[in-house]
Structure 1
Amino acid sequence: MKLAALQMQSVAGDVTANLARIRQAALEAAAAGATLLITPELSLTGYGAGEAIRKLAEPEDGEQADRLAAISDETGIGIVAGFAERHGEAIYNSALYVDGLGARTVYRKSHLYGPYERGLFVPEEPKAQVINHRGTNVGLLICYDVEFPENVRRLAMAGAEVIAVPTALPKSDHDELIARKMIPVRAFENQVFVAYVNHCGADALFSYAGLSVIAAPDGSLLAEAEATGEKLLITKIDTGDYAESAAANSYLADLRS
Structure 2
Amino acid sequence: MRTGLLQGPRGLPASTRESLAALEQAAAEAAARGARLLVTDEMFLTGYALGDAVAEVAEPAGGPAARHIAGIAARHAVAIVHGYPELDGDRVHNAARLTGPDGSVLADYRKTHLFGDYERSVFTPGDRPLVQATLDGVRIGLLICYDVEFPEAVRAHALAGTELLVVPTALMRPYEFVPETLLPVRAFENGMYIAYVNRCGPEGDYDFVGGSCLAGPDGVVRARAGAGPELLVADVDLDLLRTTREQNPYLTDRRPELYGSLAARRTAR
TM over 0.5: yes
Aligned to 2:41: 40
Shift of 1:12: 4.9
Shift of 1:177: 1.3
Shift of 1:243: 3.6
Instruction: Indicate the SS of the match to 2:206.
Output: coil
Aligned to 2:255: 256
Shift of 1:60: 1.0
Aligned to 2:260: none
The correspondence of residues 21-170 of structure 1 with structure 2, limited to 5 A, is: 21-99=22-100, 100-170=102-172
Q: Which amino acid aligns with 2:177?
A: L
Provide, for residues 202-254 of structure 1, a one-character-per-residue CA deviation record: whole Å limited to 9, x for no partner: 1223210101111000000000011x211111111112024442222121122
Aligned to 1:225: 225
Q: Where does the alignment leave 5 or more consecutive residues of structure 2 unmatched?
A: 257-269
Aligned to 1:240: 239
| Contact 2:6 2:41 (8 Å CA) reproduced | yes
Shift of 1:162: 0.3
Q: Where does the alignment leave 5 or more consecutive residues of structure 1 unmatched?
A: none
Structure 1 range deviating more: 35-44 or 101-110: 101-110
Instruction: Indicate the SS of the match to 1:47.
Output: coil
How far apart, in 1, do the equivalents of 2:74 and 2:39 lie? 15
Shift of 1:165: 0.2
Q: Which amino acid aligns with 1:145?
A: D
Instruction: Indicate the SS of the match to 1:202.
Output: strand
Shift of 1:189: 0.4
The TM-score with structure 2 as length reference comes to 0.91
Structure 1 range deviating more: 100-109 or 55-64: 100-109
How far apart, in 2, do the equivalents of 1:83 and 1:243 lie? 33
Shift of 1:106: 0.9
Shift of 1:2: 0.4
How far apart, in 1, do the equivalents of 2:51 and 2:14 lie? 8
**Number of residue pairs matched by the alignment:** 254
Larger Cα-atom Rg: 2
Instruction: Indicate the SS of the match to 1:180.
Output: helix
CA separation of 1:160 and 1:242: change in aligned 2, threshold 3 A: closer
How far apart, in 2, do the equivalents of 1:27 and 1:89 lie? 36
Provide, for residues 85-143 of structure 1, a one-character-per-residue CA deviation record: whole Å limited to 9, x for no partner: 01111110000111133234210000000011011100112521111112110000000
| Contact 2:188 2:218 (8 Å CA) reproduced | yes
The TM-score with structure 1 as length reference comes to 0.95
The correspondence of residues 205-220 of structure 1 with structure 2, limited to 5 A, is: 205-220=205-220
Q: Percent identity?
A: 41
Structure 1 range deviating more: 10-19 or 183-192: 10-19
Shift of 1:13: 5.0
Provide, for residues 133-185 of structure 1, a one-character-per-residue CA deviation record: whole Å limited to 9, x for no partner: 1211000000000000000011111110000000000011xx22111110001
| Contact 1:162 1:194 (8 Å CA) reproduced | yes
| Contact 1:9 1:202 (8 Å CA) reproduced | no
Instruction: Indicate the SS of the match to 2:114.
Output: coil
| Contact 2:109 2:128 (8 Å CA) reproduced | no
Q: RMSD of aligned C-alpha atoms?
A: 1.3
How far apart, in 1, do the equivalents of 2:6 and 2:104 lie? 23
Q: Which amino acid aligns with 1:165?
A: V
Instruction: Indicate the SS of the match to 1:33.
Output: coil
